[in-house]
Amino acid sequence: MSNHLYAPGHTACSGCGQAMAVRYVLDAAGKNTMVANNTGCLEVFSTKYPESAFEVPFVHSLFENCAAVASGVEAALKYLGKKDSINVIAEAGDGGTADIGLQALSGMLERGHDILYVCYDNEAYMNTGIQRSGLTPFKANTTTSPKGAKSFGNLRYKKPMPEIALAHGIPYMATATVGYPQDLQRKVKKALSIKGPKYIQVHVPCPLGWQHPSNQTFDVAKLAVETGLYPLVEFENGKLIGVRKIKALPVEEYLKVQGRFKHLLGNAEEIKLVQDVANASIAKYNLKIEADTAQPA
């Protein structure tokens, strides 16, 4: 039935954004691919022992060392003289990337391994019950940044992980989203055509943690981009080579479709603070479609 490299029967929640993104990435990479993946939702729902949804070789690392294990796989392939025909992909969640796995990732990027690192950013530690991570957005309600009488959710801004990866001087870095699958697959193919360490961060809605209906995964993902809260950018050799231009919808459009931001609705002051975050990205990457270049009606 399925000729995907990621098989059905995986146990992700209904409507899981990460489950889709994994399939897009693998289908774009093709079957000559090896995957290293750390602990997190992806590992739990794809490789429930003694089963696996992966149709390519897969190794489960510890939570903190996905990039280090992938580095070892790459080095072994090089030693065997097989690296040129095999892609090595390291896959991790946002917690596994921006927090606990950052040291291993930094080492992998700095040592120059020929690996594509894909971070599936669902903006919290979902597998253990929605704790905040360094990539949880400002003001989001999580179990460790709860909303309350005196709290409006997460106190901190999202860690600029794409810029941190880029600062290592890597040849390719991009942000993508499950909301635009073709764009994601193009970026994966492009990354794999380049030698050296590559980093792609994919925004993947989590119906459970973000509290939206399971049939809204694409709409929510697209709204994150269209409001400027998740800018889609692409860098080659440190140079910005592309951004997705947007209409810059008010952030409220994105906030109001998710339970994790419900506490902000009707509070103009708080929403303004989130709008400032979007405005900063819009200005930084010049994301807004100019009036005169706007698409024909």
Ligand X SMILES: Cc1ncc(C[n+]2csc(CCOP(=O)(O)OP(=O)(O)O)c2C)c(N)n1
Binding region for ligand X (CB under 6 A): 18, 39-42, 63-64, 93-96, 120, 122, 125-128, 133
Nearer to ligand X, 92 or 232 (CB): 92
Closest to ligand X by CB, 29 or 42: 42
Residue 215 C-beta: closest distance to other proteins, Å: 3
Is-contact 275 250, C-beta < 8 A?
Answer: yes
Size of the site for Mg ion (CB under 5 A): 4
For position 253 contacting other proteins by CB under 8 A, the verdict is no
Residue 122 touching Mg ion (CB under 5 A): yes
- Binds 151: which of ligand X, other proteins, Mg ion, none (CB < 5-8 Å by kind): none
For residue 282, what are its two tokens? 């819009």
297: how many CB neighbours lie within 10 A of its CB?
A: 3
Residue 99 is a binding residue for Mg ion (CB under 5 A): no
Q: CA-to-CA distance for 68 and 129, rounded, in angstroms?
A: 26
Q: Is 91 in the site for Mg ion (CB under 5 A)?
A: no
Report if residue 10 touches other proteins, rule: CB under 8 A.
Answer: yes
Piece of the chain touching Mg ion by CB under 5 A; list 12-20, 56-64, 126-134, 242-250: 126-134
Residues 248 and 227: beta-carbon distance below 8 Å: yes
User: Is 74 or 94 the residue whose CB approaches Mg ion more closely?
Assistant: 94
The residue among 96 and 179 lying less far from ligand X, judged by its C-beta, is 96
Q: What angle do CA 109, 114, 118 make, to 5 degrees?
A: 65
Between CA 102 and CA 282, with CA 220 as vertex, the angle to 5 degrees is 70
Contact criterion met (CB below 8 Å) for 176 and 222: no
User: What is the helix (H) or strand (E) element at residue 58, kind and residue range?
Assistant: strand 58-60
* Cβ nearer to ligand X, comparing 97 with 275: 97
Q: Which two tokens stand for residue 56?
A: 């390519």
Q: Which residue has the tokens 């990435």?
A: 25
Residues that bind Mg ion (CB under 5 A): 93-94, 122, 126
